[in-house]
């Protein structure tokens, strides 16, 4: 059981905290051993919904707001525990709020923030944990949190641009599917029924669409079941090692999306590595974190080779060049940073450059995608209209003859 206690030290300083024990007497004994005077000890109720796996996902925006607010309060002279306590109350995201509450309790028990965050590693990303640990060691935790706030704000900006760019294609695709289903299931059977009642022989395209229409009307549940099985199977396959390699490989090989994804990966690689090296975290440890941030199993395998080569004494620029992932410009920038001793600054500028490139590439990709979707929609709808009109043309020709 967990108990929340209040006590007073010999100097009269109030002390609060949480302690795990079998009974309140054990907590009182612990306080007396530390020469504290117990004021109150009460059992702390465990949060009913401590299982937070189904709660709202923690976004880059949530992390950016947390880091920015923590920096503002901590830089103003508020203690770490008080900062965490305030944030655990006012944070809107339930999952993050519970995580901050746990971190606050562990810090009160004597753990450092990074150690407390490691206990909640499913909530706090490894990048933030490593940066906080570096800030604690160097004594510039406020600077680190400000830099992390900027990092997550830029990441959130990129994610929002990607989501906004695909809103129109997504709506267009949904409208296309809706129109096609309406024409096939509702309009076509009614229209074709007039010709069938006259005993007219329907053309092959019309008969094919009519068969599809009847199958959808009569066996719609099978279509839903098949689609569900296909989607479920693909999701299950994506979670396997071979599935991750396959789909992650497609992201950096398919012609239309390859250029865009490579630029997003380059931007995240440069910004994350810059942030870590700025804090004095060793290169190998930094690459471990970068590998997780990029979230691509194909590139993760290449980064394992990069780390092995660096351990052998090969420069980062050379081993990054051997991966054949990043452009010659990135390799050259890293080489300049190695020679000048300012690799963190160089990488930060590289990340800013590729942020602009990501936006340009995104606009180019959506500009190409939208006409393709419109043409595809026109072809499908046009085929349906022609299939519906063909019996009418045949009937007109029969009358003329």
* Segment 87-99, tens digit of pLDDT: 888 888 888 888 8
What is the pLDDT, as a whole number, of residue 391? Answer: 75
Mean pLDDT over residues 337-350, rounded?
Answer: 89
| 122: number of Cβ within 10 Å | 11
Six token digits for residue 244: 């991750």
* Segment 245-270, tens digit of pLDDT: 999 999 888 887 888 889 989 998 99
Highest mean predicted confidence (pLDDT) among 16-25, 183-192, 294-303: 294-303
What is the pLDDT, as a whole number, of residue 165? Answer: 82
* Segment 52-65, tens digit of pLDDT: 444 457 888 999 99
- Name the phi and psi angles at 41, rounded to 5: -140, 120
Six token digits for residue 127: 């990048």
Identical fold, 60-155 and 162-400: yes
| 108: number of Cβ within 10 Å | 20
Of the listed ranges 38-52, 232-246, 264-278, 331-345, the least confidently predicted one is 38-52
- Answer whether 169's CB lies under 8 Å from 163's CB: no
Report the C-alpha gap between 268 and 155 in whole angstroms: 8
pLDDT band of 18, cuts 50, 70, 90: low
- Answer whether 384's CB lies under 8 Å from 188's CB: yes
Q: What are the boundaries of each domain within the chain?
A: 2-43, 60-155, 162-400
* Segment 118-153, tens digit of pLDDT: 988 888 988 899 889 888 887 888 888 998 899 899
Of 321, 30, 342, the closest CA to residue 17 belongs to: 30
CATH code that applies to domain 162-400: 1.20.81.30
Q: Looking at the domain covering 60-155, what would its CATH class be?
A: mainly alpha
| 99: number of Cβ within 10 Å | 24
> pTM for this structure?
0.71
Query: What is the average pLDDT score of the chain?
Result: 83
Of 82, 116, 24, the closest CA to residue 7 belongs to: 24
């Amino acid at each position: 059981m967990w108990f929340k206690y209040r006590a007073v030290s010999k100097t009269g300083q109030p002390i609060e905290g949480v302690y795990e024990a079998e009974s309140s007497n054990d907590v009182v004994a612990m306080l007396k051993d530390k020469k504290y005077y117990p004021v109150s000890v009460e059992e702390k109720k465990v949060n009913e919904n401590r299982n937070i796996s189904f709660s709202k996902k923690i976004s880059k925006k949530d992390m950016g707001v947390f880091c920015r607010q923590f920096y503002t309060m901590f830089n103003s002279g508020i203690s770490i525990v008080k900062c965490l306590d305030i944030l655990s109350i006012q944070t809107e995201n339930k999952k993050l709020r519970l995580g901050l509450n746990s971190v606050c309790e562990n810090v009160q028990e004597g753990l450092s923030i990074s150690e407390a965050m490691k206990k909640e590693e499913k909530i706090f990303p490894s990048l933030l944990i490593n940066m906080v640990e570096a800030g604690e060691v160097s004594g510039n935790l406020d600077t680190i949190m400000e830099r992390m706030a900027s990092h997550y704000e830029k990441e959130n900006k990129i994610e929002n641009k990607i989501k906004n760019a695909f809103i129109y294609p997504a709506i267009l695709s949904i409208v296309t599917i809706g129109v096609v289903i309406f024409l096939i299931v509702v309009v076509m059977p009614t229209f074709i029924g007039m010709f069938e009642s006259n005993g007219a022989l329907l053309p092959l395209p019309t008969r094919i669409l009519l068969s599809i229409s009847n199958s959808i009307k009569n066996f719609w549940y099978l279509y839903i079941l098949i689609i569900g099985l296909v989607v479920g199977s693909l999701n299950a396959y994506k979670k396997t090692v071979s599935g991750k390699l396959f789909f992650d490989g497609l992201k950096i090989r398919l012609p239309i999306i390859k250029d865009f994804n490579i630029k997003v990966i380059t931007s995240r690689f440069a910004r994350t590595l810059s942030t870590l090296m700025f804090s004095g975290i060793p290169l190998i440890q930094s690459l471990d974190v970068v590998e997780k941030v990029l979230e691509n199993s194909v590139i993760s395998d290449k980064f394992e080779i990069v780390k092995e080569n660096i351990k052998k004494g090969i420069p980062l620029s050379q081993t990054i060049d051997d991966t054949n992932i990043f452009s010659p410009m990135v390799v050259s920038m890293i080489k300049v940073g190695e020679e000048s001793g300012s690799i963190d600054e160089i990488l930060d500028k590289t990340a800013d450059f590729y942020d602009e490139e990501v936006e340009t590439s995104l606009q180019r990709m959506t500009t190409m995608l939208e006409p393709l979707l419109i043409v595809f929609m026109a072809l499908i709808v046009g085929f349906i209209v022609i299939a519906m009109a063909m019996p009418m043309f045949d009937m007109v020709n029969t009358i003329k003859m």
